[in-house]
Structure 1
Amino acid sequence: MNHRIPEYTLNDGLKVPAIGFGTYSLKGAEGVKSIVSALEVGYRLIDTAYNYENEATVGKAIKQSSVAREELLISSKLPGRYHDYNKALVAIEESLYRADLDYYDLYLIHWPNPKQGKYVEAWQALIEAKKRGYIRSIGVSNFLPEHNERLIKETGVAPSLNQIELHPFFDQAEQRKKDSEHGIVNESWSPIGRGNDAVQDVVKDEKILRIAEAHGKTGTQVILRWHTQLGSIPIPKAGSFQHQKENIDIFDFELSEQEMEVVSSFNRQDGRLWGQDPSEYEEF
C-alpha cells in the first residue's frame, strides 16, 4: 500500500492531505476503536462536527493513538444554532473542551442557514477564534458561491476550504470552478454517493468495475481516485480496518481522461441524495 499521500496547500498556508477520514456516526468505544485504526492505517485528516456528538470520541482516539498530535489535522464544524458571534466563540471553546484539544486545525461553519442570515456573523467569530489560537485554518461547509462571495466582500477573508456534497451523481462542476477562483479547496462529503436506497450503487456499476479491473483496484477506489483528480479531498467513513486500507490506497494509479469522463457521466442536474439544497436547507 502506498502511504505517500499528496498534500494541498490552503490559501492561508496550511497543508492538508489529499484524503481524510469521516467520523459521522462513529461514537463510544467502537467509534474510538475505528478512529484509532484509521490513524494507524495512515489517515492524518480527521473530520468531525459539533452536531455529530462525537468530538470526545475523536479526542479519545487521538489520546489512544501512537500518532503524535502535531502530525494530525483535526477538523470540526459550527452548528447553525450558534451563528451569533458570542455564541459561536463559546461553541468553539466547547468543541475544544469536548475533544480535550488545545486547538483545531480546521473549523468550518456547517451550513450557511441563509434564512437566518447570520453566517457572516458566524464567520467573523471564526476569524476571531483563529486570532485567539483556537483554530489554525477556517473554512465553510455547504456554502454556495454567493455565500462565499458575501463572506469575502464583507470581511475580506476567503474560506480556506469548502466541504460540499460531491459524488458521481453530483459532480459540482460549477461550484468547484467558483471556489477555485477564490483559492478555496473543496472537500467531498458522501464521496461514494451512498445513503439513499433509491440511488444505484455506483461502485458496482459495470462501467466502473471495468475501470477498476484495468487498474487492479476496486470500484470504491476508482471513485475516490476520481475525487482526488478533480482536486477535491474525499473524506470517506469506514469502520473496518480492511475498508480503511482500501480507501486510502488510491495514490499508486491514475485514471485517464476517458475514465474520468465515465465516472462523471453519472452526474445529474440535481443529484443531491437527501435534497439538502444550501439555498433552502437549514441545520441547527
Structure 2
Amino acid sequence: MIEQEKYTLNDGHLIPKIGLGTFQIRGYEGVEQILTAIQSGYRLLDTSTNYDSEGAVGEAIRRSGIPRSNFFVTTKLPGKYHHFEDALKMIEESLLRTGLSYFDLYLIHWPLPKRDNYVEAWKALIAAKKRGLVRSIGVSNFEEDHLDKIIQETGVIPAINQNEIHPYWPQEKLLKINKKYGILTEAWSPLGRGSKELEESLIQNIAQKYGKDTGQIILRWQVERGIIPIVKATSPEHQRRNIDIFDFSLSSEEINKITALKQENGRVDNQDPNEYEEFV
C-alpha cells in the first residue's frame, strides 16, 4: 500500500494529494472496486448524488475495516437542490445513503448561472458546516465570476474548487484565481477521459525517461501544479499505477511543455460552466 502525501486546506483540514473518482462505479460491483482502491492506499473518495455511488462508497468504507477517520469523503449537491432548505435536506439524504455521520467535503456540483441560485446553495453549505454535517465546503466547476459572487455575498471562501483540468485544458488562469483566494484545486477527468493525451509523443518520451506510463506522467504533472487529481479506475492494476506517482518529480521544463499542449477547444465534452445545464 502506498502512503499518500497531503495538502492542508484553508480551513486547516488535511486532504490526500490524489483521489478516487466514482462516476459510473456503483452497486455491489462498485463496492468491490472501491475496496480494491482502498487496499491500494486511496483514502480520498469522491462521489456525488448524481453519480448514484454514494451507497457504494459508504459500504466500501464499512467493509474495509479501516476507521472512518482515516478517510476523506467528498460528495456534491445536484442543481435541482440549490434552494436553501432543499440543499440542507439533500445533504442529510446523502449522509443517510452513505451511512456516514459527516462528510469531509461537500461541493456545489455546478454553478448553473442561468438559474442563478448558487449563492443560496452556498449559504446552505455554510449552514451545514455549522451544524457539523460537513467539515469542509467547496465548489465544483466555478469560474472567477462565480467565486467572486459567493465570496462577496457571504464572506466565506471555498476550501476546494474542482474543475476539468488535463493537458488539453490546463486551466492556467483559473489556477491563479484559486491560488489568489487560497482555494485548493482538484481536477476531474485529469487524464482527459479517453482522449489522445495519453498518446502524445511528448508525454510518451517523458514516461520512458522516468520508467512510468503516460497516465502517471499526467497525474504527476497535475500534482506538481498543486492540483489534486480525482481519477477513476476500476481495475486494481490501474488503481495501483495511478497512485504510484510520488517517487519522482518532473522538471519545470517538462511541466511547461505538457501545459503547452493546450488546445483552443480542449474540453472533453464541451461543458462550459457558464452554459452547461447539469443533468438532473
Do 1:79 and 1:109's aligned partners in 2 also have CA atoms closer than 8 Å?
yes
Equivalent-residue separation in structure 2 for 1:36 and 1:120 (angstroms) = 36
- For the pair 1:245 / 2:240, whether they are aligned, the reply is yes
How many Å separate the matches in 2 of 1:261 and 1:143?
24
CA RMSD for the aligned pairs? 1.0
* Structure-to-structure mapping, 1:110-121, within 5 angstroms: 110-121=109-120
1:276 is aligned to 2:275: no
Q: Counterparts in 2 of 1:57-206, with a 5 A limit?
A: 57-195=56-194, 199=195, 201-206=196-201
- Superposed CA deviations along residues 68-104 of structure 1, whole A, max 9, x for unmatched, are 1100000000000000000000000000000001000
Pairs within 5 Å for 1:27-42: 27-42=26-41
Distance 2:228 2:258 in 1: 16
Letter in 2 for 1:89: L
- Give the superposition deviation at 1:214: 0.6
Q: What code does the residue aligned with 1:282 have?
A: E
In structure 2, which of residues 249, 255, 260 is the aligned counterpart of residue 265 of structure 1? 260
How many correspondences in the alignment?
279
Structure 1 position 269, deviation (Å): 2.6
For 1:174, give the aligned amino acid: K
1:225-255 deviation line (CA, Å, top 9, x unaligned) = 0000011100111101110000000000001
Aligned to 1:17: 16
Rounded Cα–Cα distance in structure 1 between residues aligned with 2:133 and 2:276: 28
- Aligned residues of 2:21 and 2:45 also touching (Cα < 8 A): yes
Distance in 2 (CA, whole Å) between partners of 1:282 and 1:160 is 24
Q: Does 1:236 align with 2:231?
A: yes
Does the CA-based 8 Å contact 1:4-1:251 persist in structure 2?
Answer: no
Query: Sequence identity, in percent?
Result: 51
Amino acid at match of 2:219: L
Q: Which amino acid aligns with 1:259?
A: E
Q: Deviations over 1:23-59 (max 9, x none)?
A: 0000111100010111110011000001111101111
Match of 1:215 in 2: 210
Question: How much has 1:265 moved relative to structure 2?
Answer: 2.0
Give the conservation status (yes or no) of the 8 Å contact 1:112–1:282: no
Aligned-residue offset at 1:210: 1.0
The answer for unaligned runs of 5 or more in structure 1 is: none
Residue in 2 that maps onto 1:6:
5
Structure 2: runs of 5 or more not aligned: none
- Matches of 1:233 and 1:66 in 2, distance apart? 26
CA distance in 2, matches of 1:180, 1:262: 21
Rounded to whole Å, the distance in 2 between the matches of 1:58 and 1:282 is: 26
What SS does the aligned partner of 1:93 have? helix
How far did residue 273 of structure 1 move?
A: 1.1
Structure 1 residue 264: Cα displacement: 1.2
* Contact 1:39–1:67 (Cα < 8 Å) also in 2: no
CA shift, 1:4, in A, is: 3.4
Aligned mates of 1:140, 1:270 — CA distance in 2: 23
Regions of 4+ moved over 2 Å: none
> Structure 2: which amino acid aligns with 1:208?
I
Shift of 1:128: 0.4
CA–CA separation in structure 2 for the residues paired with 1:104 and 1:272: 29
CA contact (8 A) 2:3 2:41 kept: no
Cα deviation per residue 1:136-174 (whole Å; 9 max; x = unaligned)? 000000001110111110000010000000000000000
What is the DSSP-based 3-state SS (H/G/I as helix, E as strand, rest coil) of the residue aligned with 1:235? strand
CA distance in 2, matches of 1:248, 1:238: 10
